Structure 1
């Protein structure tokens, strides 16, 4: 059952990554004098930008769920599922947003990730 929670966490982390990246566009154009002022203006830009803050909150909610689920799960199952599937969900959500998958190796990698996760889960059940 905990495997389902880790898949949900991976989906929350991975699906929000492309949105966070897109939401932060424009931060590189902020120019201020002094490092502290630069940091504060960049922070203000991100906090006031709903295209960044909404996926960020969902992403961090996934982190809270991960932390809560770790209390009753095996690390040997949690880490491979969440880390590898986060990669998969990031690629798929980016693809849904119009990003191109440029190399056939990416498809092979996704299949290998799924096979590896399936082996980890089946071994623990």
Structure 2
């Protein structure tokens, strides 16, 4: 269960950071291309926008900073379902690892006391549930 928490919790901030970088780079490239295509008709610009969004989605998925954390995150889901099949308990602790990873990446935490208190209470609650199952 701790492995699931690590796989889910550590990858969430990495996914967020990778998608922000891809979005920032795509918005800078689309702003330069939109200024050159200002003479197109409304119908063609609508279809171009549709294809552009598909291409941007493919570019973001091909970026290693997006797909690698995504694959690791999904492996956490596989481990979670294996645990569900083999035990009575259906809880994991990704919040604590998400908090730690966000801190290591330097992301600001809006309410640190409440975040630490909430993560601690979740950790205590899961520990009680796991120990009562034995």
The TM-score range, normalised by the shorter chain, is: 0.7 to 0.9
Q: Is the 8 A contact 1:24 1:46 kept in 2?
A: yes
TM-score (norm 1): 0.79
The higher-RCO structure (CA 8 Å, 6+ apart) is 2
Which stretch shifts more, 108-117 or 12-21? 108-117
Matches within 5 A, 1:1-125: 6-25=1-20, 26-27=22-23, 29=27, 33-34=46-47, 36-74=50-88, 77-78=89-90, 81-82=91-92, 85-103=93-111, 104-125=113-134
State TM-score, norm by structure 2.
Answer: 0.74
Structure 1 unaligned spans of 5+: 1-5
- Residues 52-101 of structure 1 deviation map (CA, whole Å, 9 limit, x = unaligned): 11111100111112222221111xx22xx32xx11221111101111233
8 Å Cα contact 1:27/1:45 also seen in 2: no
CA, structure 1 residues 101+38, in 2 after alignment: closer, same or farther (shift >3 Å)?
same
Larger Rg: 2
Distance 1:63 1:38 in 2: 31
Which consecutive unaligned segments of at least 5 residues does structure 2 have? Answer: 31-44
Q: For residues 7-62 of structure 1, give each alpha carbon's deviation from its aligned partner in whole angstroms, at most 9, with x where no partner exists.
A: 21121011000000011113262758446424412321222211111111100111
RMSD: 2.0
- Aligned residues, how many? 114
What secondary structure sits across from 2:86 in the alignment?
A: coil
